[in-house]
Amino acid sequence: MKPSTRLRQRYGPWAVVTGASDGIGRAFAVEAAQAGLHVALVARREDRLRSLAAEIETGYRVRTMVIPSDLSKKSGVEAVLEATGTLDAGLLTAAAGFGTSGPILRANLEEEDEMLAVNCYSAMALSVHFGRRFAARGRGGIVLMSSLVGWQGTPFAAHYAATKAYIQSLAEGMRTELEGSGVDVLASAPGPVHSGFAARANMRMGGAETPQAVAKASLSALGGRGTVVPGSLSKLLTYSLAMLPRVARTRVMSQVMRGMTKHQNA
């Protein structure tokens, strides 16, 4: 069975994609549309969502729903649930999120609180809500965005890495709980990705994967495994650290992040 046919038959007819205005979320929306799923597009920037909706409807002959929503607020999460209440949704990709970097003692607590809400609360709340709906219909899929920085402490991105450790644990626990329900849960754990992430997080990255590669690998893995590490660079970084004790991995990541954030001290 072709991947596109599998996605449509196993999870269709609607996919809900958060963070759809750019980066990995946008790539997920396009991949879902290519597979023949209608797509509910969620992000703060309505103009970008409407542009993507027009592109998807013209290019792939599927329907879209535009849901402008700020997922750093509980009211934003509730707006998504209300807007999608009548959709026969079978796939959730929770790709909304952002990062911060630099010494934790210099953190802007208002920004860190917003990141915690988007990266953790919104992903959890949407997963619980759609997980219930998917279990009731007897089939569905949930993709949550973890990261290789979440597998150990990551100095100079300490809180961001902690939010990804939360997501990894949430996905692993939900996957086991939902075994036998027809609901698949996947943690997608990429490394550096070429998107707007680095600019907002104030990091400078060298080699990185494309959002399209991450989305394609994640949707291909959904239903077959619990965690996927998309891209050759991410696999290299992951497996080269895997045999080290956790404290050693943390020290290695400290050097990596020093390189990505050294411009902050210029």
Active site residues: 160, 164
Task: Report the alpha-carbon distance of residue 202 to residue 56 in Å, rounded.
Answer: 31
Tell me how crowded residue 44 is: count the other CB atoms within 10 A of its CB: 16
Backbone φ/ψ region at 223: left (φ over 0), alpha (ψ -120 to 50), beta: left
Using only C-alpha atoms, what is the Rg of the chain? Answer: 18
With contact defined as beta carbons under 8 Å apart, do 67 and 46 qualify? no
Sequence-distant (6+) residues with CB within 8 A of 48 are 21, 22
Inter-axis angle of helices 232-242 and 246-261, to 10 degrees? 140
